[in-house]
Every structure is written in structure tokens, then in C-alpha cells.
Structure 1
């Protein structure tokens, strides 16, 4: 039986381009369109429709990233600055081991690896964020189902660990 809890999806992020490329001192590349969404379309094995990692062979097992907003609470910033696709409140996603299958809303995901922070975090969040987010930068997952995620309350269930 799956352990089930209610969480809040506080933000959803979809960007067709990498904003954090090059040197942090040069600043991020502007997004060609707003990245915040009220819902996203998930495709099994492919990722989030419209995102830079959708159907990208090198990222098939890491196409969707999640972070707990609590990891960012030390800084009064927009949680989308971390550039994670799904920002949740009420669950420590970093505690999920590799291989864990969980359901968020109607979509099952499999955890493949940590979403480690990069040096850009010091430039876009605050000095020291890169070091502070080590071990709390979120997770990279592969979606196992097609579905839609929406900002708001959602059920989260651990299927297997």
C-alpha cells in the first residue's frame, strides 16, 4: 500500500531554453516567454511538453525536476529562480532514494538522481546559495504516465522505494 499525503504544488516552470549558460558574472539569458505555468502537460518517458528537456535523449531519465520550496525558504525569492519544473510544499523530495516511484497528482515518476545546484545559484538567488543547496537542490525524474499537473493541492504517494 502506498504512503499518501497531501502537498501543495506552489509553482510550475517550463522553459524552451537554458537561461543559466556561460558565466554567472555575465547574467542569465532572458527567457523568450514567461516560464511560470498554472498547469503543465506531462508525457510518459518524454518530460514536460514545451520544456527544454522534453524528448531530449540525454535527459530522458531526468526530464522533470522537482524541488521542495522549503529548501529555498532561507531566501525571499521567487522559487522559479531555482529552475526546477515542479516546486512543492510539504514534502522533502530530496529524501527520496534513486529508483523510488511516486505519484504526484495523476502522474507517476521514478527518481533517477539528485538535481544538484550549480554556481548560478549564487548569482540568481544569493551569495552562498550554491553551497547551502547542496543536498537540497531537488531531484531529477522520468515520468511514467501521461497527465497534467496543476498549481494547488495534490496527492503525493510513494509507490515503491
Structure 2
């Protein structure tokens, strides 16, 4: 088991990257960065735009490593730009495809099945800066299915990769 840090949590009720990147993103919801997020098994994060959407149930929660943010392109880049849900420091989430992980922020473990890569799109160049999409290739995070209910909070957390 490793101790990681939950740096940011994003629960956004609305899509921001619709249409063409050249048109710019939709306005941000003022409360999309949260201190805690409620996870529901098979459904996602309560209040998030992908919550309980059948097309997204296998990819309802996205994790990203803080170490992979393209800060050299735009200092201050965070989840509001990448549109991932959970920003972790201290673990290479991109190396965990096909695994099941446990993240315990002190309120009990939340189990997540790491299903597939969260591939960066052309929006990354538009909102972060030229070269961001390429910089995030193979480092854009992962899409997960929540296998248990629980609560994620900012701060230190115990992270465990479960045996196959």
C-alpha cells in the first residue's frame, strides 16, 4: 500500500468542451472543484456530467497523475483544463490499465476498475496551449468503473493495487 495525495477533485454538472476547439469552451461551473466527491457503484460521481449515463458507466470516473500535467506549457494547469475527475500525486495511474485499485481517503476504500486510457483530444491544445495534446499522449489519465460506494476527499490517501 502506498500513501498518495488527492490534489484535486472535479465534479462538473456540465460539459465544457462541446463544438469546435476554435470556438472555445463553455463557461465553467463555479463549484466544479470540490473538497469531497460521493462515488456510487456502477454510476460514477454524484452530480457529475457522466453520472448514471449508460454510455459512460464503464468510464464514469477519471484519474490523472499530477506529475503528468503539462505545467511547462501552461503553469497552473489543473483538472479544470484536462476535465478529469481525480488528480493524484504519487502514483503512475497510466500504468494500471486492466487493474483494480483501492483509494481510501479515510472514510473507507473506494474500489475502481481501471478500464481504459483517457486519451487527450484537440481541446487540450486550445485550453492548455499548443503541444498539450501531444504532451499528454499516454499520460492523460485513465477511465474507471466504480466498483463500490464511498467518498473521496482532498489530502492524503491510501492507494492499493489489488491482486488480479
* Interval containing the TM-score (normalised by the shorter chain): over 0.9
Match of 1:158 in 2: 161
2:67 to 70, 78, 85: 70
Match of 1:94 in 2: 94
Match of 1:116 in 2: 119
Matched, 1:47 2:50: no
Superposed, which structure 2 residues align to 1:1-80 within 5 Å? Answer: 4-72=1-69, 73-74=71-72, 75-80=74-79
Aligned length: 157
Find the aligned partners of 2:77 and 2:151 in 1 and give their Cα distance. Answer: 23
Unaligned runs of 5+ in 2: none
Would the aligned equivalents of 1:41 and 1:48 in 2 still touch at CA under 8 Å? yes
SS of the residue 2:121 aligns to: coil
In the TM superposition, residue 78 of structure 1 has moved relative to its aligned partner by 3.3
In the TM superposition, residue 76 of structure 1 has moved relative to its aligned partner by 1.2
Match of 2:83 in 1: 83
Matched, 1:142 2:138: no
SS of the residue 2:27 aligns to: coil
Question: For the aligned residues, what is the CA RMSD?
Answer: 1.0
TM-score of the superposed pair, with normalisation by structure 1: 0.94
TM-score of the superposed pair, with normalisation by structure 2: 0.92
In the TM superposition, residue 59 of structure 1 has moved relative to its aligned partner by 0.4
